[in-house]
Amino acid sequence: MPMPGMTRDDQAIAELGALAHPTRLAAFRQLVRAGPSGLAAGEAARLLNVPHNTLSGHLAELAQAGLVESRRDGRSVVYSADLDGLARLVGFLVDDCCGGRPEACGESHPLLARIGELTRHERNSIAMNRIYNVLVLCTGNSARSIMAEAILNKLGQGRFRAFSAGSQPKGEIHPQARALLSQLGYDVSWLRSKSWDEFAKPGSPSMDFVFTVCDDAAGEACPIWPGSPMTAHWGIPDPAFAKGSPTEVRTVFAETYRLLHNRISVFVALPFEALDKVALQSKLREIGGLEGATTRSKAFTTEAPAAE
């Protein structure tokens, strides 16, 4: 299982790094051979012809990475390989095989079947307890994506952490979007229009999902997002195109809010722990096709200021 505060990517890097040393790799292989009973540190050092103190340091690194377990037996410390930890590591590496269902790869191979089963249980546990990071994209990041960010942070109830950004951010929130959210009781003090480049930098939050809500952003070449998130297009018309009286414009923004709220309500209610990647991706696409879905040709009017 990933260590607290670490993503599964980070955990895999730590595990592979721990094995990327001749002595640690040899020690781990020796512990695998020894089976569940394990080996005392001194005996393992003798078999590998490595000084006891040196090997103890290497075993500690393997244990920290989650690949080795230790127990005290009298005056000795006995180490054994955590085979489930190894299976999860291999499962992580093959997690995208067979359409995101590695357990299916193992129907004729017991080891792969075990790997698939372990990783499926791990995904279920993580899905039930983790906080999902979600990035909502639009071109200008001033109305639709801003509203989606606010809605998801509210409906997510701490289980989802939403962000928004634009490929060509306006640098300010559309006044009507700000007014509507305020009227509905949202805290808008922290909302801002920003570039999607912020979320492609090293050290940026690792995203689990990235959604585009305008057709232009969906068609642009996006940065490489840390974490290899799942993506979907949830296009709806741009309320910034709305024309007419102030009341008519407010009505358009309210309709945009309703369409976004409907999509996000369905999203947060998904049984993430019960869905494999293929099924989840299908659900995300279905959400994008709900009432109000756009194509590039659809908008409220063809006469408008620059799009959001």
**Which of 259-264's residues contact partners 24+ apart within 8 Å by CB, and which partners?**
259/290, 259/291, 259/292, 260/144, 260/147, 260/148, 260/151, 260/213, 260/236, 261/151, 261/155, 262/290, 262/291, 263/234, 263/287, 263/288, 263/290, 264/148, 264/151, 264/152, 264/155
Element (H, E) at 46: helix 41-48
**What one-letter code names the amino acid at 86?**
L
* Tokens representing residue 285 in the block: 């696409």
Contact 48, 39 (CB under 8 A): no
Residues 282 and 32: their CA atoms lie apart, in Å, by 40
What pLDDT score does 99 carry?
A: 53
Question: What averages of pLDDT result for each successive group of 10 residues across the chain (308 residues)?
Answer: 63 87 90 83 85 88 88 84 79 63 53 61 58 91 95 91 92 94 92 90 84 72 69 91 91 96 95 84 92 58 39
Q: Is 105 annotated in the active site? A: no
* Tokens representing residue 79 in the block: 């180490």
Q: Is 214 annotated in the active site? A: yes
Calculate the CA dihedral of residues 262, 263, 269, 273 and round it to 10 degrees: 180
Q: Which domains does the chain have, with CATH numbers?
A: 8-127 (1.10.10.10), 131-288 (3.40.50.2300)
Instruction: List the 68-73 sheet strands across, edge first.
Output: 39-40, 76-81, 68-73
Q: Is 98 annotated in the active site? A: no
What pLDDT score does 182 carry?
A: 95
Q: Can you give the pTM of this predicted structure?
A: 0.57
What pLDDT score does 257 carry?
A: 96
Look up tokens 């709900």; give the residue. 290
* Tokens representing residue 185 in the block: 């009781």
What pLDDT score does 1 carry?
A: 47
CB atoms within 10 A of CB 241: 17
CA angle, 120 then 280 then 210, to 5° = 115
Catalytic residue among 97, 98, 105, 222: 222
